[in-house]
Structure 1
Amino acid sequence: MKKVFALFMMLVLALGVLAACAPERPTNEESEGNSEGSSNEGTEGEASSEKPEKLVIWEDKEKGVGLDPAIKSFEEEYGIKVEYKEMDMATEIRENLRLDGPAGSGPDVLTLPHDQIGQVVTEGLIAPLETSDEVINRYTESSILAETYDGTLYGLPKATETPIFIYNKDLMEEPPENFEDLYKFSQDFGGEKEYGFLALWDNYYFAHAVIGGFGGYVFENNDGALDPSKIGLNNEGAIKGAKYIEKWYDNVFPSGIVGESGGSTKGALFEEGKVASQQDGPWAFQGLTDKGINYGVAPMPKLPNGEYPTTFMGVKGWHVSSFSDNKEWATKLVEWIANEENAKIRFKETAEIPPVKSLIEDPIIAEDPKAKAVAVQSSRATPMPNIPEMAEVWGPMAQALQLVATDKAEPEEALNNAVETIKANIEANHSE
C-alpha cells in the first residue's frame, strides 16, 4: 500500500513540474484582444499576432505626404505607432534592405517597383502576402498579376504608370481613334521637320505597345507564373508588330530619334511645337506643364488589327519584409494603406494613379483627363515581366528594333536573332 501511495505522490509531483514549465495560455479575452483586426491567420514566418508598439515603413522619396493620413487613421484604429522613412525606391530600398533587414534595423513594410519582385524574392527579402480574395479583388487584374511571382502574391499595388498618347491641343484638336487615322494625319501634317506623331519604338519598353498589340509576348504566362523558356518575341504577331514599326520609321519618324539621344530629341521637338503628338508616360506631365504646353492626354489609339496597344505597365507596390517580426500586423498595415479610401487620398496628394477598380470611374479620376487616360490604358496594359530573366531581353530587343528602324535588317531576321541571343544569355546567366 505504501508503494502505491509513493508512486501516486511521485506522479502528482511530476505533473506539477510539467504544469509550471508549460507556457501560460491567454484567457479568451486576451486571445480576442491579440487577434483584433487580423484577417491573416496562417501567415508564414514567425510573426506573432500580439500587437507591436511600432511598425516601420520605407517609402519612396517625396511620397510620404500621401502616407500621413493613412498612418494617422491606422494608429487611431489599432493603437500601433507607425513611422516611415523616405529613400529612392528604384535603388536605395532594395540595397539597404539587404543589409538592414538581417541586422534587425530594417522596415516592416516597404515599397518597390514590381519589376524588382523576382530578384528580391529570390534573395529572400520579402515575404508572401497572405490576404483575402475580398482584398485582392479591389485591384485591377493586371496590377495584381504584377505583384505576383511564380504564382504567389507578394504585395498590394499602390500606383501604376504606363505610356499613353499625349498631344498638343494647338496642333491637334482631338486624339485619333486609331493609328491608321494618325498615320494619314502625319502624312499631311505641317512642313519639313514637323511631325504628326513620334514614339521611341527602337526602345523595347515603348515598342512593346505595338508588338504586344499584334500578339507578341515576352515570356509565356501560366496562371501567373512566367516561363522564361518560352519566348514570344519572334512569333507571327511580334513580326507583324515590327513590320508596322518599320512603316513609321520609313515614312514618318526622323532618323534622329533612334538610339540613346532619341528621347531628348523627341522631347525637344514636342516642346518646340514641331510635333503634334507623341507616346510618352505620366512622368512627362510636369515638364510639359512647366513649359506651358497646351497638351491633352488620351489612351493609345487602336492598331490596324482592331486591338489596343498593349503597353508595358509599371506597378509600385507595398510589401512585407521577410525580416519583420510582426508580419501579421505588417500585412494589416499594407491592406490599410492600400485600401480604396487611402488610395484616393494618396492620389490627391501625389497624383500617382491607384489601380483600384472602383476608383477608375470615381469623379476624382474620371473627371481628370490625364489620370483617366493612364487608368484606362493601364487596364489594357500588361505588367513588365518581374522575373530576373527579363534583364536579358532589353539589350537584344533594342538592337533588333534599331536594325529594323534603320533598314539594316528585316523584322523577322532581326527578331529571330534577338530571341536566340536572349535564350543564350538566359542559359548562361540564369541556369541552375
Structure 2
Amino acid sequence: MRKFGLVSLVMLLVMGLLAGCVSRPSDNGGGETVIPDKPEKLVIWESDEWVKNVEKIAKKFTEKYGIEVEVVGVSELEQRDTLKLDGPAGLGADVVTWPHDQIGEAVMAGIIIPIDEWIEEGTLEQFYEGAIMAMHYDGYLYGLPKTIETTALIYNKDIISNPPQTWEELWSVVKEHTNKNDNRFGFLFDFKNFYFVHGFFAGMGGYVFGFEDGVYDIDDIGLNNQGAVAALELIKEFTDGGYLPLSTDYDVMQDQFNLGRTPMIINGPWSIQGFKDAGINVGVAPLPTLPNGNNPMPFSGYKGWYLSAFSEHPYWATKLIEFLSNKESSELRFTDTNQIPPRHDITFNDEIAAAFLAQGEFAIPMPNIPEMRVVWGNVSDAIDLATRGEMGSQEALDQAVKFIRDGIAEMHE
C-alpha cells in the first residue's frame, strides 16, 4: 500500500523549513543525543471547563522540568481556526487538543506536525492499540490520546437486573418488554445514524475504508460487502417486526429511556449524567455478541494532545504531551472530569467507566480523514431506504458506496 502521499511530501517540506528555527535533539558526533535547551515557557490550549485540571498537571510538569506552562482556555471547536490565525504570528500554543477525527484536516492545513521524532521509546505501548491508531494520519503519529468515548448498551437497572450478553438473550428481553399498543419497546437506538450502528456493521464484517500501516485506503470501501448487508438485515429485523419504530431517532430514544418506557438503548458516556438527573438507575454493559459470535465493534472517538506546527520547542512540547498523557496525569483527569483515559495500566472502580472501557476494547477509531464527510449521510440514507422497504439492503448499500465514491472523486478534483 502506498504510504507516502502528497500530504506526506508536503509535511516533509514543512518540517525541513522549520528545522532552522526550532530546537530539536541532535547528535554531538560521539553517538550521544544532545537535548535542546529548555524554553522558559510552553503554552497549552484547553477547553475552559477543563483548564483547572490541566493547570494541576502543568504545575507537576514545571516541578519536574523547571519549565513554566501557561494553560489558556480555548474551545476545542475553535482551536484549529484560531491556530491558523495565531500560529504564524507567534501567538499560538505549543500543545493543542481536539477530537481525533479532526487530525486529517489539521494536517492538511499545516497546523500540526508529527511527534515520532521526539516520542520516548515504550510510550505507545501504554495505550490501547485503537487509541494509538487514532492518533496516526498517513503513517505518522501526531499526538497522544487523553480520553476515549464509545457507545455501549445502557440499561435501566430497575427494569433489567442482568443485561443480555448474546443476541439471543437480547431478543428475549426485547420481546418481553415490548408492548406496541402502549408504545413501549424493549430496545431503542438511533438506527439511521451510522455512528450508533457501526458496531453492527463492523462486527458482522463490514468496514468503512481499508487500513494498513497507519494509512486509510479510500479506494477500498467495505460498506456493501456481505457483512455490511447482514448488519443492515439485523436492523431490519427490528423495524420490520415492529420492535423499532421508524420514527425513532436520538431524541425519541432519550425521551423514552428517561421516562422508563424502554429499558435498553445504545448511547455514550456523555448521556449518563442526564439519565441520573432524571432519576434513572442507570447501568452500562458491553453490547451483546452478534449472531456470528463476534462482539459489536462501535466507533470510538478519542481526544488527543497534538504538537503545533508553530512551536519553536517541539522536543519539549512533546515531553509535555507525554506528561499530560501519563498514568498519574490520566488518573487525575478522570478524578476531576470523569473522562476515561485509554490506558492499559489504569483500573477503574467506577462500574460505568469500566463498562465503557470494556466496550472500548472492541471499538474501532472513527477514520480521521476528510473523506469521512461523504460517508455519514450516504450510509444513513441507505439505512432509511432499506428499513422503509424502498430498496433491498444490498441495493441500498451499493448505491451508498457509489455515492461515496462519487463524493470522494469530487473532493479530489
Counterpart of 1:396, as a letter, is N
Query: 424, 428, 431: which one pairs with 2:406?
Result: 424
Structure 2 length as normaliser, TM-score?
A: 0.90
**Could you tell me which residue of structure 2 aligns to residue 185 of structure 1?**
173
Larger radius of gyration: 1
Contact persistence 2:164–2:173 (CA under 8 A) = no
Summarize deviations over 1:283-304 as a string: whole Å, max 9, x none: 1011011111111111111111
- 1:305-384 aligned within 5 A: 305-359=292-346, 362=347, 365=348, 367-384=349-366
**Identity in percent:** 42
Structure 1 length as normaliser, TM-score?
A: 0.86
Flag structure 2 segments of 5+ consecutive residues without an equivalent.
1-15, 24-35
Counterpart of 1:204, as a letter, is F
The 2-side partners of 1:133 and 1:281 are apart by: 33
Contact persistence 1:160–1:354 (CA under 8 A) = yes
**Could you tell me which residue of structure 1 aligns to residue 247 of structure 2?**
256
The 2-side partners of 1:65 and 1:380 are apart by: 32
For the aligned residue pairs, the C-alpha RMSD in angstroms reads 1.4
The 2-side partners of 1:352 and 1:418 are apart by: 35
The answer to whether residue 268 in structure 2 is matched with residue 286 in structure 1 is: no
How far apart are 1:263 and its partner, in Å? Answer: 1.0
> Match of 1:103, SS?
coil
Summarize deviations over 1:205-226 as a string: whole Å, max 9, x none: 1111101110000000012100
> Match of 1:274, SS?
coil
The 2-side partners of 1:101 and 1:180 are apart by: 55
How far apart are 1:429 and its partner, in Å? Answer: 1.1
How far apart are 1:201 and its partner, in Å? Answer: 1.6
Contact persistence 1:389–1:430 (CA under 8 A) = no
Flag structure 1 segments of 5+ consecutive residues without an equivalent.
1-41
**Could you tell me which residue of structure 2 aligns to residue 96 of structure 1?**
82
> Match of 2:126, SS?
coil
Query: 112, 116, 132: which one pairs with 1:144?
Result: 132
Contact persistence 2:232–2:383 (CA under 8 A) = yes
How far apart are 1:190 and its partner, in Å? Answer: 4.7
Counterpart of 2:383, as a letter, is L
- 1:8-27 aligned within 5 A: none
Contact persistence 2:149–2:302 (CA under 8 A) = yes
Number of equivalences: 380
Contact persistence 1:182–1:196 (CA under 8 A) = no
Contact persistence 2:148–2:339 (CA under 8 A) = yes
Counterpart of 1:406, as a letter, is R
Summarize deviations over 1:148-199 as a string: whole Å, max 9, x none: 0011100000000000110011111111111221112211215331111111
Counterpart of 1:395, as a letter, is G
Contact persistence 1:125–1:321 (CA under 8 A) = yes
Q: Flag the 1:379–1:133 CA change in 2: closer, same or farther, 3 A.
A: farther
How far apart are 1:88 and its partner, in Å? Answer: 2.0
Summarize deviations over 1:313-358 as a string: whole Å, max 9, x none: 0000000100011111100100011101110111100100000111
**Could you tell me which residue of structure 2 aligns to residue 393 of structure 1?**
375
Counterpart of 2:292, as a letter, is N
**Could you tell me which residue of structure 1 aligns to residue 28 of structure 2?**
none
Contact persistence 1:172–1:276 (CA under 8 A) = yes
Summarize deviations over 1:257-315 as a string: whole Å, max 9, x none: 1xxxx111111111111001100010101101111111111111111110010100000
